[in-house]
């Protein structure tokens, strides 16, 4: 306990008297041509929704997702759950 407190004091003192300036700045980069767009986030959301629906259906003991449920990104499963 004493060693950890001593180490914290030594590190904070060293950082307080260090000669490095801490300049934090938010740098906004322009959108590049290869940056992820709406399509990428839509694809990730669809895959995540399919996985979530499949896990839920499996845990409920109802078997696997049908082809139509998976093709609709799991929305048909969520609409039929009661």
d(CA 68, CA 59): 19
The secondary structure of 27-42 as a DSSP string is: -PPPPPTTS--HHHHH
Rounded to two decimals, the pTM is 0.54
Domain boundaries, the chain: 36-82
In this predicted model, what pLDDT tens digit does every residue of 3-53 receive, in sequence order? Answer: 888 888 887 887 777 666 666 677 666 665 556 677 778 888 899 999 999
d(CA 76, CA 66): 10
DSSP 82: -
**CA angle, 56 then 47 then 51, to 5°:** 20
């Amino acid at each position: 306990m004493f060693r950890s407190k001593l180490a914290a004091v030594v590190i904070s003192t060293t950082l307080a008297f260090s000669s490095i300036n801490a300049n934090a700045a938010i740098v906004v980069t322009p959108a590049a041509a290869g940056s992820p767009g709406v399509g990428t986030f839509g694809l990730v959301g669809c895959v995540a929704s399919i996985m979530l629906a499949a896990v839920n259906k499996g845990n409920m003991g109802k078997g696997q997702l049908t082809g139509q449920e998976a093709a609709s990104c799991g929305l048909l499963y969520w609409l039929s759950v009661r």
